[in-house]
Amino acid sequence: MPELERHSFDVLVIGAGGAGLRAAIEAREHGMRTAVLCKSLFGKAHTVMAEGGIAAAMGNVNSNDNWQVHFRDTMRGGKFLNNWRMAELHAKEAPDRVWELETYGALFDRTKDGRISQRNFGGHEYPRLAHVGDRTGLELIRSLQQKVVSLQQEDFAETGDHDSRLRVFQEFTVTDLVLDGGRVAGAFGYWRESGRFVLFEAPAVVLATGGIGKSFKVTSNSWEYTGDGHALALRAGASLINMEFVQFHPTGMVWPPSVKGILVTESVRGDGGVLRNSDGKRFMFDYVPEVFKDKYADSEAEADRWYTDPDTNRRPPELLPRDEVARAINSEVKAGRGSEHGGVFLDVSTRMPAEEIIRRLPSMHHQFKELADVDITAQPMEVGPTCHYVMGGVRVEPDTGASSVPGLFAAGEVSGGMHGSNRLGGNSLSDLLVFGKRAGAGAASYVAGLGERPVCSDEAVAGAERTAVAPFAGEGGENPYTLHMELQQAMNDLVGIIRRAEEMGQAVERLDELKRRAAAVVVEGHRQFNPGWHLALDLRNMLLVSECVARAALLRTESRGGHTRDDHPGMDPEWRRKLLVCRVSGDDVEVVEEPQVPIRADLLELFERTELEKYLTAGELEA
C-alpha cells in the first residue's frame, strides 16, 4: 500500500465558497499557516452561482437605511427565531465587508452619483442589495480569489514559496474529521482524480461546506451540496440547530424537465417582475399574511407606485419573504390555476423595455433563451418552488464561529442560527463574509492559545480509511444512484414545502430503510476517478442530514418560515422559544428541545410592542 500523503497546517478551511475564502484570508492574516480544501475546482462553489446581490445597510439608494432596519427585517424574515446576536453582528458589519471587497478588487454596479448601487429584494424594507448585474456571486468569488493570490505573492516575496502560508487543495473531498480526546486534530479525505488518501494534521478546522440541497429532487443546488460539513460536525460530536427549516425558493425553472429547479433570481421581482396565475391574475395580493398586512400594498396601483415612490406607498406583495411567496405559488397550482407545466407565470416582459431587461438581468435572459427557448423580453417565464437553502446548521458561538467541539468552527450556509426559520435573499452573501471573517479569526486565536497540539493517531486514521473503502467491499449489491434517487424522491414528497405528521413519519421510516440499504452499497472498479464511489460516500452524509431534517420537522408542531405544516398551520409563540437540537449518538440521530436564548432588551426595543405581540408569548412581553 502506498504511503499516506500527509500535510500539516495550523488552520484547515474545508470549502472554498465565500465563507471559506474569507475565513482563510483572515486566518492567514493572523499569521496562521492555512490550507483551503475544496471538493470541486477552485472558484466553482455555490457562491459563484449567486445572482441577485449582497445585503448590507449602506443607505446608498435610500438614506433611511441603517443596521437597525436591516436587523429588524432579518428577524421578521426569520420569524423571530434567529439567533439575535448573529443577526445583530451581521447587520452591523455587512457594510464594512462589502467595502472591504472593493479593496480586494471587486467592482459593484454604481448609482448615478458613483456610489455602490443597491436593489430591492423580498423582505428588505429599503433597496439594500449591492450587485453586479445578476452575477454578483461571480464578482465575490473572483475578488476573494484575487486576495488569496495577492497574499500568496506577498508570501513568495518573503519566503520564496507561494504556498508557504496559504495553500489551496482543489478537487479534494474530506470524508472524516480526525479527533484526539474530543479535540480536532485534522481531516482525512481523497483526491477526486486519483482516489488517493491524504491526512491533513491541524488543530483547527473551519467548516464552510455550504448546503444540503442534493437530498431533494427539485433543487437549485449543484452536485457538491450533499451536507458534508453538517455530517462531519455531527459525527465529531457537534450539534445542529434549525434543521427543520429548509428554504424553498419560490422561483425555480419548471420546464423543460432537464432544468427543473434551476434558480430564477429574486431580482426579477425586485426589479418589477410580477407573478400571475393561468387566469392572468396577480395573485399575491390574496396571500399577504396578517403579520405583514401593514407593510404590503393591497392594490396593483399602490404596488406599482412603490417602485418610483417607496416613501408614500407600500411594497408589492411579490416582495414578501420567500416562504410566503413559495406557499402562495404552491396553493395556486394546487387549486388548478397553474401553468401548463405545473408552475405559475413570472413576467417582466410587460414591465420593462427589452433593452433594460437585458441590461439588468443578462443571465436570466441567457438562461431562458438557451435552456427553455423562452425570450423573457417578450414572454413570461414559467416558475415554481425549488429547494434552495438550509437555514439549519452547526450550532456556533456567534462571535467566533466556534462549535461545541474544541478546534471546530463553522461559517456560511453550514452554520445555523443566523437566519432563524427563513433567510432573506441577499443575506447569505453578507453572512458568508461577516461570519467567515469571524470564524477565521476565531480559529486563529484558538490555535494561538493552544498548549500541546492534538495528534492524529494511527487508529483514528486507519478507521477513516476503512470507512472510505467500505463501499468496495460491500455485500448486498445496493446501487448508490438508486438509493440517491429514492432519497431525493422521499424528501421532496414527504418533507417538502407543505408537511404533515403522517408523511413525515413515513419519511423517517423510509430513511431508516435507506440507511440499512446504504450499509450494503457496492461500487465497482477502483479508486481512480470513480463517481459511483464518490456518491456512495456522499450518501452517508445526505442520509444523516436528511434524518435530522425529517425528525426535527416531525417534532415542531407549528408552521414558521421554511417549515409549513398542514396539520399545524399557525405560528405558536411557545415554539419560538425553543430550538430543536440534533446530535448523533452511535448510529442514531437524537433531536432534543432546548430553550432559545432570549433577545437582548435593547434589541427588542427596536420593535413596536404591537409587532412583538405577534411573535412573543404573554410572559415574554411582561418581562
Quick one: cell of 278? 393561468
**Whether residue 269 lies in the annotated active site:** yes
- The SS3 of residue 309 is coil
For ligand FAD, the closer of residues 43 and 338 by Cβ is 43
For 405, which DSSP code?
S
Tell me: does residue 413 bind ligand FAD (CB under 6 A). Answer: yes
The answer to whether 53 contacts ligand FAD (rule: CB under 6 A) is: yes
* Site map (CB under 6 A) of ligand FAD, residues 227-256, x = contact: -x----------------------------
d(CA 75, CA 345): 30
Other CB atoms closer than 10 Å to residue 247's CB: what's the count?
28
Give the Cβ contact number of residue 73 at 10 Å.
25
Can residue 440 be called a binding residue for ligand FAD (CB under 6 A)?
no
d(CA 11, CA 407): 9
Closer to ligand FAD at the Cβ: 37 or 518?
37
Q: Which stretch binds ligand FAD (CB under 6 A): 239-247, 250-258, 282-290, 425-433?
A: 425-433
Contacts of 199 (CB under 8 A, 6+ apart): 4, 5, 6, 7, 178, 186, 187, 188, 456, 461
Distance, CA of 621 to CA of 369 (rounded, Å): 53
| CB 19 to ligand FAD: min, Å | 3
In the shown chain, the binding pattern of residues 301 to 340 toward ligand FAD, with x for contact by CB under 6 A and - for none, equals: ----------------------------------------
Count of residues in contact with ligand FAD, rule CB under 6 A: 42
- Looking at the Cβ atoms of 101 and 174, the one nearer to ligand FAD is 174
Smallest gap from Cβ 40 to ligand FAD, in A, equals 4
Cβ 267 vs Cβ 136: under 8 Å: no
Active site residue 337: no
Give residue number: closest CB to ligand FAD. Answer: 17
Task: Determine which residue in the list 101, 178, 208, 333 makes contact with ligand FAD, applying CB under 6 A.
Answer: 208
Kindly write down the DSSP assignment for every residue of 55-72, as one continuous string.
Answer: E----SS-TT--HHHHHH
Are the C-beta atoms of 247 and 382 separated by less than 8 Å?
no
Which secondary structure element, helix H or strand E, spans residue 169, and what is its range?
A: strand 166-170
Marked catalytic residue, from 230, 269, 517, 577: 269
Q: How far is the CB of 593 from ligand FAD (least distance, A)?
A: 27
Catalytically annotated residue among 30, 70, 249, 560: 249
How many whole angstroms separate alpha carbon 240 and alpha carbon 551? 12
For ligand FAD, give the closer residue by CB, 216 or 575.
216
What sign does the CA torsion over 257, 258, 260, 263 have?
A: negative
Q: Which is nearer to ligand FAD, 276 or 388 (CB)?
A: 388
R_g of the chain computed on alpha carbons:
23
Q: Which is nearer to ligand FAD, 18 or 95 (CB)?
A: 18
Could you say which of 220, 386, 403, 559 contacts ligand FAD (CB under 6 A)?
220
Is residue 204 part of the contact set for ligand FAD (CB under 6 A)?
A: no
221 makes contact with ligand FAD (CB under 6 A): yes
Residue found under cell 404533515: 500
Residue 306 or 389: the one with the smaller Cβ distance to ligand FAD is 389
Give the residue, chosen from 65, 93, 224, 347, that forms a contact with ligand FAD under the rule CB under 6 A: 224
Rounded Cα gap, residues 131 and 61, in angstroms:
13
Cross-strand pairs, 240: 394, 582
The C-alpha atoms of residue 514 and residue 472 are separated, in whole angstroms, by: 18
Q: What does the per-residue mask of binding to ligand FAD show for 130-169, with x meaning CB under 6 A?
A: ------xx--------------------------------
Binder among 10, 13, 34, 52 for ligand FAD (CB under 6 A): 52
- Of the ranges 46-54, 299-307, 484-492, 607-615, which one interacts with ligand FAD (CB under 6 A)? 46-54
Q: Binding residue for ligand FAD (CB under 6 A) from 120, 152, 209, 377?
A: 209
Residue 177 in the binding site for ligand FAD (CB under 6 A): no
In degrees and rounded to multiples of 5, residue 449 shows phi and psi of -90, 0
**391 forms part of the interface with ligand FAD (CB under 6 A):** no
Nearest-CA neighbor of 511 among 539, 481, 533? Answer: 539
Of 40, 278, 400, 506, the one binding ligand FAD (CB under 6 A) is 40
Residues 6+ apart with CB under 8 A from 369: 375, 376
Among 37, 320, 329, 394, binds ligand FAD (CB under 6 A): 37
Check: CB of residue 111 under 8 Å from CB of residue 60. Answer: yes
Within 450-520, where are the H helices?
458-473, 480-494, 501-518
Interface contacts to ligand FAD, rule CB under 6 A = 14-20, 37-40, 45-47, 49-54, 136-137, 173-174, 208-210, 220-221, 224, 228, 263, 389, 412-414, 425-429, 432
Active site positions, annotated:
249, 269
